[in-house]
Structure 1
Amino acid sequence: MSAWKESIEGLFIGFTSAVGVISTYQTLVSCGGLFRKKEAVTHKPQKTFAVLIAAHNESAVIAPLIENLKKLDYPRDMYDIFVICDNCTDNTAELAREHGAIACERFDSSKRGKGFGIEWMLENLWAMPKQYDAVVMFDADNLVEKNFLMVMNDRLCKGARVVQAYLDSKNPFDSWITLSYAVTYWFTNRMWQLARHNLGLPNTLGGTGLCIESNLLKEMGWGATSLTEDLEFATRCIERGIYPTWAHDTKVYDEKPIDLRSSMRQRLRWMQGHYDVAGRYIGSMLKNAIKAGRLGMLDAAFYLFQPMYVLIMTMMSVLFLARFFDTGATMFSYTHLLPSWLLYGTTALIYLLPFVALYLDKVPLKGYLGLLLLPFFFLTWLPIFFYAFFTKKNQVWSHTSHTRAIRIEEMQ
């Protein structure tokens, strides 16, 4: 019995140590988002863009996005809009053409998913007579701020090769689910993405609102066909020493699932993809980080190791409650491994930073209600984390239906 107890205590000690290190590191990095240096646009339009829209049966939302993109503050002859009509069975392609986009239809039942669609589109794009300096990627349910291409042009002219824009929600107040999503994104944009940008660390890609230099794509290929093609491509870039960067000054809005069932299906796909990519790349990422002595690579490996900030908050909350309500009758002493000042201080910052993020980014007052919903939203993540781990080999793409035909004028 003593050996069993020692084994369990050893596991708890290892768990507590890992959570403490991860939480402290991420909390310190998040503090980098407390300040924001204005990055003025100083370059006139120079770059040409191929704007790609990934679409699968998106007839309900494709038209507002195309009309939105046609009105960007950028010379219209310096960008073309392509809609990847991927295995569509509705009239997405017809609507795309009617609204002035180039519809590229793909039918391949053996290779389903956004990653395969993008790979196919890029192969076709490189074979066209007209070539572009960069490729921009959106999802069909998106809306885009008018300065998007101006900002991307400026970042490219300043030497960036992969750029991620601010990701926002176009329907944050439709339900408690969409508000929880929105709060999570508002926090992540400020205290994860902007923080890393300020500290010179690589940013993560969000699957939409990203800009990639064409020469880089031709050099390394797309090669990202997992369920989380954005994470896979970003990881491959970082392995090469190419850090994705962040543009806090231009926004992309997308539609969040309204009901819990659709939300969990979407997040399950994200986590299955995350575990899959982590399993394939974390070893080489750690090796390259140590070999090259690059903190950015180590940070990226760190992100692959732990799924999301929500897990950090949950685990630190468990340790905090275990310590706070400990009456001395606790069977194991693992909750006392971390110093009280570290446990209480880190937990306090973890819960304070979301409030600060919303305040700094001037989120509407009713958005703060979402902070009260986060604990319940976090609870819905826990079964996803565990189920996704045991089903990470499942690479069947699950499509999220979009129905809100909102126009950019309504967002502003």
Structure 2
Amino acid sequence: MQKFELFVDVVWTILEIAPMLVMGWLAFILVFGLIKRKALVKAFSDYKNRFAIIVCAHNEEKAIGSLLSSLGDLDYDKDKYHVYVICDHCTDKTAEIAGSYPFVTVMERNEGPTTGKGVVLSWGLPRILKMTEKDSCDAFVFFDADNVAKADFLTEMSKKMNQGNDIIQGNRLGGRPYNTYVTKWYTLYWASYTTYFSYAREKLNLSAFLTGTGFVVKRDLIEKEGWDTSTITEDVEYSIQNCIKGRRVAFCISAICFDEQPSELKVMMNQLSRWTTGSYQILNKYFYSIIRSKNERFLQKLDSLMFLLMGPCSWLSAIITALNMLIILWKLPLYACLPAVILGVVGLMTMYIAVYGAARYNKIESEGMFFALLTFPLFTFAYMICSIKTCFKPSTTWVKIEHKSLDRAQV
């Protein structure tokens, strides 16, 4: 009996410590990334890179016009970029609308599965490589059909490329209109993510992660290795693949694009379930590859592994904390829980301040955001519930999110 109790104690202690190590590491990176001064990195040249902009679209006739109009208004030499819209199994007027823009080439894909962007890129990139000469394209830019780009997006990305970066994630922010509290939660989430996760890692010379849209990959890299992803979160998978090879994803906070966010709770839960499922798929597929990879970026590998472990460790930590509280209540007087309650309140207030600060830093309008900020813990709770659910029941089916159009006045 004593041996069994000892075994239970050891297992419980491990379950308590492991999530704390992961969350502690992430908090450490966040804090030191914030307080570290941004290094002044000089560009190797003022060369203006040439870009092929790729847009994957499936029945996006309502949204794609705003994106293409914003791309037509970029303050970049018009002969140094061209847009390729890959219409994937489209049955509406997406191809017709895209073809009406003189700087757009429309490609129609009607064969193969409609399982997400990964398979579309695997189909389209080799064809675009054949269509473009090396001296006419230095890098590929990836957007979603529901995006709107700021006028200086390519200018800022070109500067970042000239600093020696091959893969660059731009500053993806939630765009107006902020129709519902779900939309506002997403807007606060992306402002926090880009500031505290991506920008903190950029300042520490660690790798950010691609977030699905608004990013650049150098042509030579695509030409040499192609695009070979199989999970439903192809952006994170591609980031991990390059981390294993010793590369990093740079982050350009000044290259801003806006992304239309879901407005319904059901759509939000479906999307979060796909994100968490993808994280588990990647963790299962690349865990040993990350550990065994031989490159000099040890801290980057460690940080990437901690990022993948963040989902399961967050809900495991929450469950263990709740159980410990129940044990304390069962064995000790009520006032014994006071330190834990105080710690919880401090943590909640810290989150409110951090999310508000990220929104202000990214110039997110505060009008109508107060209640969304107040209820933002519900978004994080929903994320955790999806992470628990998909750990046991993955969500692998791609479901299209219906888009409308972003307000271009904000760019």
Which residue identity lines up with residue 121 of structure 2 in the other structure?
I
Residue 294 of structure 1 aligns with which residue?
A: 298
| 5+ residue gaps, structure 1 | none
2:106 paired with 1:103: yes
Alignment of 1:12-411 (within 5 A): 12-31=12-31, 32-34=33-35, 37=38, 44-100=46-102, 101-110=104-113, 112-131=115-134, 132-171=137-176, 173-288=178-293, 292=296, 294-307=298-311, 312=314, 315=317, 319=321, 326=328, 329=331, 349=350, 352-366=353-367, 367-392=369-394, 395-403=396-404, 405-408=405-408, 410-411=409-410
Q: For the Cα contact (< 8 Å) 1:282–1:305, is it kept in 2? A: no
* 3-state SS of 2:30 partner: helix
Instruction: Count residues in correspondence.
Output: 402
Structure 1 residue 341, shift from structure 2 partner: 11
1:369–1:363 Cα change, 3 Å:
farther
Separation in 1, partners of 2:228, 2:15: 35
**Any gaps of 5 or more consecutive residues in structure 2?**
none
Identical residues among aligned pairs (%): 24
Change (3 A) 1:372 1:34: farther
Alpha-carbon offset, residue 296 of structure 1: 0.6
Name the CA distance, whole Å, in 1 between partners of 2:158 and 2:375.
38
SS in 2 for 1:269: helix
| TM-fit CA distance, 1:365 | 2.8
Alignment-mate amino acid for residue 299 of structure 2: L
What TM-score do you get using the length of structure 2 for normalisation?
Answer: 0.87
TM-superposition CA deviations, 1:249-308 (whole Å, max 9, x none): 12111111101001111111111111111110011102226x746111111111122228
Cα distance 1:386–1:81, how it changes in 2: closer, same or farther (>3 A)? same
Structure 2: distance between partners of 1:188 and 1:80: 30
Amino acid at match of 2:269: M
Code of the aligned partner of 1:122: L
Coordinate RMSD, CA, aligned: 3.3
8 Å contact 2:16–2:320 — kept in the other structure?
Answer: no
Residue 218 of structure 1 aligns to a residue whose secondary structure is helix
> How many angstroms apart in 1 are the aligned matches of 2:64 and 2:376?
31
Q: CA deviation at 1:25?
A: 1.4
Shift of residue 4 of structure 1?
A: 6.1
- Does structure 1 conserve the Cα–Cα contact (< 8 Å) formed by 2:41 and 2:163? no
2 CA distance for matches of 1:133 and 1:35? 32
Q: Partner letter of residue 375 of structure 1? A: P
| CA deviation after TM superposition for structure 1 residue 166, in Å | 0.6
Shift of 1:129: 4.7
- Over residues 309-352 of structure 1, what are the superposed CA-to-partner deviations in whole Å (9 max), with x where a residue is unaligned? xx749946973995699458259xxx9xx999999987775564
**Partner Cα separation in structure 2 for residue 51 and residue 287 of structure 1:** 35
CA distance in 2, matches of 1:306, 1:384: 13
Tell me the SS of whatever aligns to 1:197: helix
Residues 317 and 347 of structure 1 are in contact (CA less than 8 Å); yes or no, is this contact kept in structure 2? no
1:173-202 Cα deviation digits (max 9, x unpaired): 311111111111111111111111111110
- Change over 3 Å in CA distance of 1:111–1:200 after alignment to 2: same
The change in CA–CA distance for 1:3 and 1:371 in structure 2 (over 3 A counts) is farther
Structure 2 Cα separation of the partners of residues 340 and 369 of structure 1: 23
Given that residues 143 and 253 in structure 1 are in contact (C-alpha distance below 8 angstroms), is that contact kept between their aligned partners in structure 2? yes
Give CA deviations for 1:145-179 in whole Å, capped at 9, x if unaligned: 11111111111111000000111011363111111
Q: CA deviation at 1:358?
A: 3.1
User: 2:308 is aligned with what amino acid?
Assistant: L
Contact 1:228 1:270 in 2 (8 A): yes
- TM-score by length of structure 1 reads 0.87
- CA displacement at 1:87 relative to structure 2: 1.0
- C-alpha contact (below 8 Å) 2:186/2:261 kept by paired residues: yes
Identify if the C-alpha distance between structure 1 residues 106 and 349 changes in structure 2 by more than 3 Å, giving closer, same or farther: same
- Secondary structure of 1:99 counterpart: coil
Once residues 316 and 29 of structure 1 are traced to their aligned partners in structure 2, the CA distance between those partners, rounded to angstroms, is: 21
Letter in 1 for 2:376: L
